[in-house]
């Protein structure tokens, strides 16, 4: 969890963004760029230096490209300080230290990126015939590890979203999955709301809450439309889609299977 932000930024630029910094200070400890003793743990550095100062090389960092500055020394770049979000901070920190990034949380569960330790439990969830009645199952663990390596790099890493896991805050049990997948519909690449909840947690509101988290993430990250792709016989998912405000859009067939595609403007 990010608790501290080091501001390695031009003093005049900081003065120009005084009001934004005042709001940021309500949630994080802010320290000046010369705070060389700031611990790496729970810290993100914001910098406008073209080359990351040596003392910050081992820290999570985000570059701020203001006033035509050009930064090539950090993987995360924002055009202005006011573009900074809590998710940006969590993501930069998670990527630097190889952690799964938390997407959202409430009092019941946390929605976060999938990591390799989740695979055995996910395999047990997918082994339930009721779960894979309308969706594909998982391969063996070693194959899924190879898939996850690619998924983390190209889906999480490039797009910043994907299919995440839902984890119970008290027991640590994986409740299911929810997130944003890509699906081609009549030649158009669409963002799809995807979700599943393990059998013993169904009909308790977890799917609805997770879907709301995903939709809020999509809205905050500039998505304008999202779809659901549901087997025609999957009545619970159709009802959930309707409850979330999706409207029927198209139909699709895959062999003998028929799917209902719904969409929602964000």
For residue 69, what pLDDT is reported? 67
CB-based contact 172:112 (threshold 8 Å): no
Measured CA distances, 28 to 31, 60, 164, 176 (Å)? 10, 15, 26, 31
Residues counted in the chain = 266
**Nearest-5° Cα angle at 163, 161 to 241:** 105
For residue 68, what pLDDT is reported? 67
229 closest CA partner among 188, 199, 201: 188
CB-based contact 112:106 (threshold 8 Å): no
Q: What is the mean pLDDT of each run of 10 residues along the chain (266 residues)?
A: 93 95 96 81 91 81 82 84 93 92 96 96 92 88 94 90 97 97 93 95 96 96 95 94 96 88 96
For residue 36, what pLDDT is reported? 65
- Can you tell me the distance from the alpha carbon of 90 to that of 102, in angstroms, rounded to the nearest whole number? 7
Gyration radius of the chain's alpha carbons:
21
Q: What are phi and psi of 237, to 5 degrees?
A: -70, -35
CB-based contact 82:20 (threshold 8 Å): yes
Prediction pTM value: 0.86
For residue 132, what pLDDT is reported? 84
Virtual torsion, Cα 105, 136, 252, 114, nearest 10 deg: 30
State the DSSP string of 167-205.
Answer: EETTT--EEEEEEEEEEEETTEEEEEEEEEE-GGGTTTT
For residue 72, what pLDDT is reported? 73
For residue 250, what pLDDT is reported? 94
């Amino acid at each position: 969890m990010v608790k501290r932000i080091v501001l390695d930024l031009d003093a005049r630029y900081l003065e120009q963004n005084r009001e934004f910094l005042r709001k940021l200070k309500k949630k994080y400890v802010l320290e000046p760029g010369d705070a060389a003793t700031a611990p790496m743990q729970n810290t993100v550095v914001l910098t406008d230096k073209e080359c990351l100062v040596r003392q910050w090389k081992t820290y999570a960092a985000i570059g701020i490209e203001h006033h035509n500055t050009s930064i090539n020394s950090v993987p995360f770049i924002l055009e202005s300080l006011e573009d900074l979000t809590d998710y940006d901070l969590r993501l930069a920190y998670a990527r630097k230290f190889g952690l799964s990034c938390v997407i959202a949380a409430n009092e019941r569960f946390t929605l976060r990126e999938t990591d390799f330790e989740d695979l055995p439990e996910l395999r047990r969830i997918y082994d339930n015939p009721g779960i894979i009645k309308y969706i594909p199952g998982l391969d063996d663990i070693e194959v899924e590890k190879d898939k996850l390596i690619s998924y983390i790099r190209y889906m999480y890493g490039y797009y910043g979203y994907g299919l995440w896991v839902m984890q119970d805050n008290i027991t640590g049990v994986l409740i299911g999955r929810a997130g944003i997948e890509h699906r081609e519909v009549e030649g158009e690449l669409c963002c799809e709301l995807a979700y599943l909840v393990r059998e013993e947690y169904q009909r308790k509101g977890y799917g609805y809450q997770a879907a709301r988290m995903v939709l809020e993430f999509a809205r905050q990250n500039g998505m304008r439309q999202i779809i659901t792709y549901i087997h025609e016989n999957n009545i619970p998912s159709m009802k959930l889609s309707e409850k979330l405000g999706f409207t029927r859009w198209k139909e699709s067939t895959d062999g003998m299977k028929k799917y209902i595609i719904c969409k929602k403007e964000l």
